[in-house]
């Protein structure tokens, strides 16, 4: 991953970049600033592209501030709940229960109730039973990695996105202000990280920050985790019976997942020496 972007950027700066390449949403703005991308709608092959065939909202992610279409979506990510199917039945939670969870920032809804049933201390006491010790946990209801990260893609993003009409910036694309000061966002984050105090989610230091939640689940010390579609194969190879259900429905009545993904680009680095490719 790191080598790819380093080599790609260095190639464009040196004037030796490729004619076509795979780009990522995270890197799009940087390449726009380098002025190395060709607008796709100016290419003959784009005339035959059925833009209605794309998932709603995907094409807009690959448009520059100037309105030009600089990327053709190759795929997109979705997040879901991965959970240990062998742990859930012992708590009375069925597949249908797990697939129909809902949450809110006040009492956590049925999602938090599920976490309470799945969280077990070192004495085998569940968190909704008398004598539970939130400071000595054997099995966390939900895992977290990298302390939540700045975007929370595989941590808190499904919750902040379903709290109301919140999204990250003051505009859907090319925003200039992060809306982390929004009251709805802040109440959601207070609830989410409050799960640590209740013993439902692992605190910093319980696992290495680099330990992904698939490894946490594989160890048997975490019952569920939010993760992305790119991890299907990884979770399937765990020595754990893994189930997958949508993220919990939030106060706005929806289950949410953060968009991400790759797109195909055409480079302008060699447009002076030959015609750009037609397809």
Q: What is the pLDDT of residues 117-170, one digit of tens each?
A: 999 999 999 999 999 999 999 999 999 988 777 889 999 999 999 999 898 999
For residue 80, pLDDT beyond 90: yes
Q: Which of 189, 152, 163 is nearest to 250 (CA)?
A: 163
Q: Check: CB of residue 198 under 8 Å from CB of residue 127.
A: yes
Q: Which CATH superfamily is domain 2-76+260-266 in?
A: Periplasmic binding protein-like II (3.40.190.10)
Domain ranges of the chain: 2-76+260-266, 79-245
Predicted confidence (pLDDT) per residue in 202-260, tens digit: 998 898 766 799 999 999 999 999 999 989 999 999 999 999 999 999 999 999 998 77
Q: What letter does residue 267 receive in the DSSP assignment? A: B
Across 162-275, the runs of DSSP E, i.e. the strands, are 224-228, 242-245, 262-266
Fold match flag (2-76+260-266 vs 79-245): yes
Residue with tokens 């990522």: 24
Class of domain 79-245: alpha beta
Quote the mean pLDDT of the chain.
90
Q: Are 186 and 261 in contact (CB under 8 A)?
A: no
């Amino acid at each position: 991953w790191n080598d790819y972007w380093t080599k790609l950027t260095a190639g464009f700066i040196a004037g030796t970049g490729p004619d076509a390449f795979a780009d990522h949403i995270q890197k799009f703005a940087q390449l726009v600033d380098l002025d190395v991308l060709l607008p796709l709608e100016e290419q003959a092959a784009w005339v035959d592209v059925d833009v209605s065939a794309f998932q709603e909202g995907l094409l807009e992610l690959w448009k520059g501030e100037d309105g030009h279409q600089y990327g053709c979506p190759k795929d997109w990510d979705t997040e879901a709940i991965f959970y240990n199917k062998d742990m859930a039945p012992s708590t009375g939670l069925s597949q249908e229960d797990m697939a129909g969870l809902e949450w809110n920032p006040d009492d956590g809804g049925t999602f938090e109730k599920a976490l309470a049933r799945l969280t077990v201390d070192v004495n085998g006491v569940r968190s909704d039973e008398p004598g539970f010790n939130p400071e000595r946990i054997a099995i966390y209801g939900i895992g977290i990695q990298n302390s939540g990260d700045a975007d929370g893609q595989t941590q808190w993003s499904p919750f902040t996105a379903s709290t109301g009409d919140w999204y990250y910036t003051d505009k859907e694309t090319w925003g200039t202000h992060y809306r982390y000061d929004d009251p709805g966002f802040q109440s959601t984050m207070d609830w989410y990280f409050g799960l640590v105090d209740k013993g439902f989610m692992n605190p910093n230091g319980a696992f290495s920050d680099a330990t992904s939640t698939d490894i946490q689940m594989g160890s048997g010390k975490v019952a569920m985790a939010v993760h992305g579609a790119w991890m299907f194969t990884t979770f399937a190879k765990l020595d754990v019976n893994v189930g997958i259900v949508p993220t919990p429905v939030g106060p706005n009545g929806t289950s949410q997942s953060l968009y991400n993904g790759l797109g195909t680009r055409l480079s302008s680095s060699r447009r002076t020496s030959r015609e750009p490719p037609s397809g």
